[in-house]
A and B are shown apart, each in its own frame.
Chain A
């Protein structure tokens, strides 16, 4: 697959105008995600109300794939329970590593726009980084890395 095919409208749009941009002032959970090989670096903040993700915000310097993935992730997990969000983390991981059956039941919705990344091994880590970071934030670990 051409990486150009990955840079579809939606991904370019989310890269240009990322949703939920900016760290939350009243975050209950925070984590930092780093991809040392290519220089992707994102900060994620969450406000959990009990088990529910009430608000989410992120910032960072990252490539378009990473930024768009982070932006779409924040939209997808806002309002969800921690359990549902963690399930999406797993499904997203599976999808980008070619293990998810896109036709089968899953909760990724529009995130399937990243399914092509499974054919571009050098970009998989870019797409997955925000999700690793989310997982780390839930777990209370400060940093996530793709290494």
Chain B
């Protein structure tokens, strides 16, 4: 669906770009063209200002004191939790746990749920598309428990084979962990359908939403996922903060991940009792300022409108895809029918590392490498790809610059 199909007011990208001071940077006298948003996104001034305000007038440790600053910081922290709840349409705010990022959230579930409930011969379903952060935590717990990992294959376009997924289920299947959007290929997976299939077998599903939450509307009740993890720094927020959503009934059954202050009700050397959720999973002093700043980032994005962001990014993707498809010697890797604005490509005869270095000379920032998705690279028989990933503050002119830069690289290596 393109922006033309729906009545969505187009973004004033030029105005939005003025909110981002870093976009004014010059790389060796050339304007910065930042196309590495899947790795991390930039922060607009209003969100930077929110951090500064917190640090200038609101900081203290939370949940611990009755003085003004602590009460203020606590209130702002919990307000941020409510913003997260609204952002993903969680039923209750206590189902939204602040973590240090997607990787942290997935480890929390692997340790809190997996370690408690997985047994020998249990099967955990992952997919070929997974980022290492949604593979390794499961391998670690599977090794400890004697459980097995089963993998959903993809086709040559980078789409999950749902029928093969269906066939993987048996009496031993105990968990599914899968991505909403592939960071290497941009594939948007049919998670609603796949979650429904898992639930037919009574199997819970964790969704890695790191690449999805910034770019499309996430409604965890509609998806009916059991867990959903995402990161602040991918959606214009700070690093060091993320969210793990979990259905209350599941979170309550789980064992804690990290032990320490704040996640307890009472402590004696004989016995310690744990706090209810979300506190049970928020041990120690949390990243208070970061959570509040994440709240501001969510406000900023919802102020623009996620649907409008998605529409603009789709336009960028369509244009860039078309342009790259016209270039002989450029091969797109990941051509799923439904994609987020991520373009992995290969240049005949030129290693991605060379592409990335030379593009940098033109001020164009892309990522090259395996993108923490070695299984995907192996599936496409490439050691690495070059990847351009767009955000709502990128422009068509920047796509043109990317294309021109790639052309120059090809000329150099001809």
Contacts and interface: CB of A to CB of B under 8 A. Distances in A.
B369 A37 contact: yes
B358 A39 contact: no
Contacts of B377: 39
A129 to B, nearest CB: 11
A65 interface: yes
Given A2-B28, A39-B369, A61-B383, A122 B351 contact: no
A139 interface: no
Interface in A91-147: 120, 122-123, 126
A12 interface: yes
A126 B353 contact: yes
Contacts of B358: 3-4, 7
B351 A62 contact: yes
A23 interface: no
B357 interface: yes
Nearest to B413: A12
B357 A123 contact: yes
B353 A39 contact: yes
Contact of B360 (A3, A15, A16, A37): A3
A40 interface: yes
A41 interface: yes
Contacts of B369: 37-39
Most buried by B among A4, A41, A120: A4
A94 B380 CA distance: 37
Nearest to B384: A39
Contacts of B234: none
Given A38-B384, A39-B370, A39-B383, A2 B361 contact: yes
Interface in B330-355: 349-354
Contacts of A123: 353, 357
Nearest to B28: A2
Given A4-B412, A12-B412, A120 B357 contact: yes
B157 to A, nearest CB: 23
Contacts of A12: 412-413
26 contacts: A2-B28, A2-B361, A3-B358, A3-B360, A3-B361, A4-B412, A7-B358, A7-B412, A15-B413, A16-B349, A37-B369, A38-B353, A38-B368, A39-B370, A39-B383, A39-B384, A40-B353, A41-B383, A61-B383, A62-B351, A63-B351, A63-B352, A64-B413, A120-B357, A122-B357, A126-B353
Given A63-B354, A64-B350, A67-B351, 18 more contacts: A3-B357, A3-B360, A3-B361, A4-B361, A7-B412, A15-B413, A16-B413, A37-B369, A38-B352, A38-B368, A38-B384, A39-B353, A39-B377, A61-B383, A63-B352, A64-B354, A65-B353, A122-B357
Interface of B: 28, 349-354, 357-358, 360-361, 368-370, 377, 383-384, 412-413
Interface of A: 2-4, 7, 12, 15-16, 37-41, 61-65, 67, 120, 122-123, 126
Q: Give the 7 A-B CB pairs with smallest separation, nearest first.
A: A39-B384, A39-B383, A63-B351, A63-B353, A3-B357, A38-B353, A64-B354
